[in-house]
Amino acid sequence: MSEREYPTALGASTKDTITLLGHDLADEVMGEVGFGELAFWLATQRRPAPGEVRVFEAVLAALADHGFTPTAIVARLTHLSAPDSVQGVLAAGLLGGGSRFLGVTEDCGRFLHRHLPDPPPHDDAGWDACALRIVRAQREAGRFVPGLGHHVHKDGDPRTRRLFTIAGEEGLLGPHLQLFAAIGRVHPEVLGKRLPLNGAGVCGAALADLGLPLELLRGFALLARTAGLIGQLAEELRSPVANEIFLSVDRHTGSVDPAPYRP
Say how far apart CA 128 and CA 179 lie, in whole Å. Answer: 8
**What's the CA dihedral at 178, 182, 185, 190 to 10 degrees?**
-160
Contact 222, 102 (CB under 8 A): yes
Contact 237, 203 (CB under 8 A): no
Closest distance of CB 65 from a copy of itself, Å: 4
Amino acid at 193: K
Closest distance of CB 225 from a copy of itself, Å: 9
Binding flag, residue 168, a copy of itself (CB under 8 A): no
Restricting to residues 15-34, name those near a copy of itself by CB under 8 A. Answer: 15-22, 24-27, 29-31, 33-34
Closest distance of CB 250 from a copy of itself, Å: 6
| Core vs surface per residue 18-53: b (16+ CB within 10 A) or e | ebbbeeebeeebeeebeebbbbbbebbeeebeeebb
Near a copy of itself by CB under 8 A: residue from 104, 145, 166, 173 = 166
Say how far apart CA 36 and CA 246 lie, in whole Å. Answer: 35
DSSP secondary structure letter of residue 18? E
Closest distance of CB 49 from a copy of itself, Å: 13
Closest distance of CB 149 from a copy of itself, Å: 14
- Residue 71-100 contact track with a copy of itself, rule CB under 8 A, x = bound: xxxx--xx-xxxxxxxxxxxxx-xxxxxxx
Restricting to residues 39-68, name those near a copy of itself by CB under 8 A. Answer: 39, 42-46, 54, 56-58, 60-62, 64-68
- Residue 195-224 contact track with a copy of itself, rule CB under 8 A, x = bound: ----x-----------xxxxxx-xxx-xxx
Restricting to residues 128-157, name those near a copy of itself by CB under 8 A. Answer: 152-156
